[in-house]
Amino acid sequence: MNGWIWFPGDFEIYHMMKQNFSREERGFDWPAYWYASGWNHKIEFSRIYELAEQTTFTAYVRGKGYIAVKRRLPDGSKQVKKYPFGQQVTCAPGKVEIEAVVAHLEGLPSVLVQGRVIASDESWLASNHLEHELPAGVSELFTRPEQDPAVFPYAHELKEPIAIEQVNGGRLLDFGYDVTAATLLTFNAEFKAVTLCYGESRTEALDVEDCYLRQNIRSSDDHGLERIGELTFATRLRAFRYIFLPGIEDDSVVVTADRQFVDFGGVSEFQSSDERLNEIWAVADRTFRACSDIFFLDGIKRDKWVWSGDAYQSYFINPYTFFNKEIVERTIVGLRGGEPFRQHLNTIVDYSLYWLISLEDYYNTFGDLRFLETVYAKMESLLDYCCRQIDERGFIYGRPGDWIYIDWAEFDKLGPLCAEQMLLARAYESVIVVRGALGKPAFDLEEKLAELKTNIERFYWDEELGGYIDSYESGSRNVTRHANIFAVLFGYAEGERVETIKRRVLLNPDIPAIHTPYFKFWELEVMAKIGEYAYVIEQIKSYWGGMLDQGATTFWEYYDPSETGPEKYAMYGDKYGKSLCHAWGASPIYLIGRYLLGVRPTAPGYASFEVAPRTELPGELTCTLPVGAGSVTIERLRERLTVTASAARGVLRLSDRVVELPPGQAVSVTLSGSYQS
């Protein structure tokens, strides 16, 4: 593919820095507080050609530098001719090396070479003089000379408010659901001073003094205001559902939203006879797409940062929505940053471990060994960083500046936390899989893994309490759900112990409940894994349905059913600190697609796959999900199930039979069992 090229990883690092520096709060900007890995500012690109005949090319640049044509003369000397970018260059037949030297202080050093034979693509090599001759970075999004890889090609949609309310001496505009947009102000006769109060909730937008995002516009040349017409102006990009204009009670100013988004398309659809599930799926899909930008974001209003834990769950949801490989790769590479590895991702130890685990999940989903090869060295250096902070028992601990997070919950964190050790063991397993896929040895990690799992059992399992405790150092024997969820999810608890954990921990009302959709994701996946499908459906409908009953049109970062007043919008000590459009809130899509519809790969990259729908699903449904490059449609009419797959090597798996799914052919079977709505 002919297109713009750059040093591998620089595109992702550059755009992630822009993203993580875009947060705004109550009139000031708030760059992410963790270490920001920089991109290269000078790169040499090169490729050798054997030319059978004379040919021409033209090179375009973002930055400054030159293009060089190098060839060996018959006497053994080297001839080098340099040319400015933008000029057509003619090359004579023979062996020739084309080199582009590009420097850029503010943006992304990149070059586009276009010619019938000589053209820039992934076969070119890039060097920053420390890491030599790496395959250049490239994207199908950047192929035209007028483009700049530092400027992402977003899609745009103009949105009008769906409702306008006269209230509190002003106008409240409701755009229906959270959008990321520039606000367009069109004045009917002349410019007038105006205040914009943004909110994810009606309550927030009407709080003129304390809303999270507010802009006071006093003149047409105010900072942050762009004139795009005689009486039309655009504000900076913000996320909101509501806008309140205090003191404006007429139509002297018309407000529209220029929504900015990445159009991923996609094939997933879900319609059933259970309207509650239909609405939850639709709102989850809207939430997930809103949080899927250049990278997977946590939420679109407050942080707008890229967090490794949020992203990790997005990797699971993505295959059941638009199945986009590039956003996963961009997020993985951008999060990891450059070398050397200096700080845990987002300062959180568990988030570094999730990054390691994500590489195995990436391989299972997309089956792309080429990508694993490009990140392999960075995987090993991150792993080495983690291994430098394990104790004599193999447990990982937090150092000054590290954050042991796991979830918003009350853990006993005196000493190494059990849930963290579960993640470390899972990270070892994932690195072993990646090394195996790339033909590299893993004996050292296999020994570490065996020792770690033995010590987890020895120090954290409490037979009397029937669960894994948070920490052994304090002596408090505190049990929370999190480590026990991981133990079952990762297969570290088996047989009768799983039943014990389910009874003594997971279904025990005395163990504090989980209130974040983040860990509700893992909790319900475990319940599905052990066959509690009816419980999973009930929880999806009550927990996410509870947010719908509270007026949610996108799903939240945190939900406590006992909070019903304005306090339901508060978090982090901020009355409007809770994100009401958060990526991890979209997990019902994964839970339904993976466990209730039973769609999953059985070989890396969906080289083979299965569909194993549960009878707990609604009596009538029509659903289409991606399966790699193809799709599968599942239709149920009471006890009649019909499955049609466009991809090859799929099977329909039911409790007592396995049926092949020939591509393009509908396969129908009769089910047994019933669904209770």
- What DSSP character marks residue 543? I
Residue 315 contacts residue 358 (beta carbons within 8 Å): yes
Please state the φ and ψ torsions of residue 650, each to the nearest 5 degrees: -105, 155
Contact (CB, 8 A) for 182 and 257? yes
Which residues pair with residue 667 across a beta bridge?
A: 643
Report the distance separating Cα 569 and Cα 557, nearest Å. 10
CB 529 within 8 A of CB 600: no
Give the separation between CA 633 and CA 668, rounded to whole angstroms.
12
- Return the closest-CA partner of residue 383 out of 336, 314, 347, 422: 336
Query: CATH assignment of 605-670?
Result: 2.60.420.10
- Reading the block at residue 503, the tokens are 């009874």
Residue located via tokens 């019938």: 116
Can you tell me the mean pLDDT for 530-556? Answer: 96
Over the stretch 470-513, which tens digit does the pLDDT of each residue have? 999 999 999 999 999 999 999 999 999 999 999 999 999 999 99
| pLDDT of 267 strictly over 70 | yes
Instruction: Measure the CA–CA gap between 82 and 100, rounded to whole angstroms.
Output: 9
5-138 against 269-458+479-504+512-596: fold identical? no
Assign domain 269-458+479-504+512-596 to its CATH architecture: Alpha/alpha barrel (1.50)
Q: Which residue ranges make up each domain of the chain?
A: 5-138, 155-261, 269-458+479-504+512-596, 605-670
Within 13 Å and on the Cβ side, how many CA atoms surround 501? 28
Least confident interval from 129-138, 162-171, 273-282, 409-418: 129-138
Architecture of domain 155-261: Sandwich (2.60)
Tokens of 559: 């939900």
With 0.85 as the threshold, say if the pTM is over it.
yes
Contact assessment for residue 304 and residue 236, using Cβ atoms and an 8 Å cutoff: no
DSSP state at residue 292: B
Question: pLDDT tens digit string along 294-336?
Answer: 999 999 999 999 999 999 999 999 999 999 999 999 999 999 9
| pLDDT cut 90: percent of the chain above it | 92
Q: What is the mean pLDDT of residues 149-173?
A: 98
386 in Cβ contact with 424 (< 8 Å): yes
- Token reading at 204: 């927030």
Pairwise CA distance, residues 575 & 597, whole Å: 39
Strands (E), 479-569: none
Amino acid at 605: G
d(CA 605, CA 366): 4
Give dist(CA 580, CA 177) in Å, integer: 10
425/452 Cα distance (integer angstroms): 7
* Alpha-carbon gap, residue 276 to 668, rounded angstroms: 27
Only one residue has tokens 């964190």, namely 413
Under CATH, domain 5-138 is a member of which superfamily?
Answer: Galactose-binding domain-like (2.60.120.260)
Tell me, what's the pLDDT at 332? 98
Written as one letter, the residue type at 110 is S
List, for residues 8-45, the tens digit of each pLDDT value: 999 999 999 999 999 999 999 999 999 999 999 999 99
What is the rounded CA–CA span in Å between residue 135 and residue 91? 23
Residue 617: alpha-carbon gap to chain centroid: 28
Report strand pairing: 650-654 vs 609-611: parallel
